Structure 1
Amino acid sequence: MLLKKIINSSLIILSLMVFVLADQANASQNYSDIPSNHAAYKEINFLTNLGVLNGYEENGKMLYKPEIAVTRAEAANMLIIALGQSPLTGSTSSFSDINAGTSESGYIEKAVELGLFPTTSNGEFRPNEPLTYEEVSYILTKAFNLNTKEASTYGSPFLDVTSKSKFFEYINAAFYNGITQGENGYYCPNKSVTREEFALFLARAKSKTYRLKLPAAPTARVTGAKGQAVVSVNDLNVRSTPNSSSKANIIGRVNKADILDTFATSSGWVKVAYKGRYGYVSNKYVKNKTVKEDRSLNSTPTKVIHSNDSSSPTIQASVTTDSLNIRSGAGTSYKVIGKLSYGTNINVDSISGNWIKITYNGVTGYVSKTYVKLLNQTDNLTLKNKIIILDAGHGGKDPGATKGSIYEKNITLTITNLVVQKLEEAGATVFATRIGDTYPSLEQRVAFAKSKNGNAFVSIHVNAAASAAASGTETYYYVKANEDDRKDKYLASAINNEIVENLDMRDRGIKNYPYYVIKNTSMPSVLVELGFITNSNDLLKMTTDKNIDLYATSIYNGIEQYFSKY
Structure 2
Amino acid sequence: MIVSLFGMNRQVQAAGFVDVPARALNEVNYLVEGKIVNGSSPTTFTPDKVITKAEAAVFIGRALQLNGTQRATGFPDVGMSNFASGYIQSAVDKGIVSGDKAGNFLPYKEVTRGEMAVMLANAFGYSYNNTVSGAEKALMTLGIASGLSNGTFGTDLPIKRADFAVFMARAINPAFRLKTSVNFTKPLWSTTGNLNIRTGPSTEYSSVGTIAANTQVTGAHSVGGWTYVKMGSKTGFISNYYLRSASSDGAAKPPATDSSDSKLSSQTIILDPGHGGKDSGAVGNNLREKDVVLKAGLQVNNLLKKTPFNVKMTRSTDTFIELKDRSAFAKDNGGDIFVSIHANSASSAAATGTETYYYAAANPHAADSKLLSSKIQARMLDAWNLRDRGVKPGNFSVLRENNMPAALVEMGFISNAGDASKMASDYWMNIMSIAIYNGILDYYKAKGYNVNSLYK
TM bucket (normalised to shorter chain) is 0.3 to 0.5
Higher helix share: 2
- Considering only CA atoms, is the larger Rg found in Structure 1 or Structure 2? 1
Higher strand share: 1
Normalised by the length of structure 1, the TM-score is 0.38
Normalised by the length of structure 2, the TM-score is 0.47
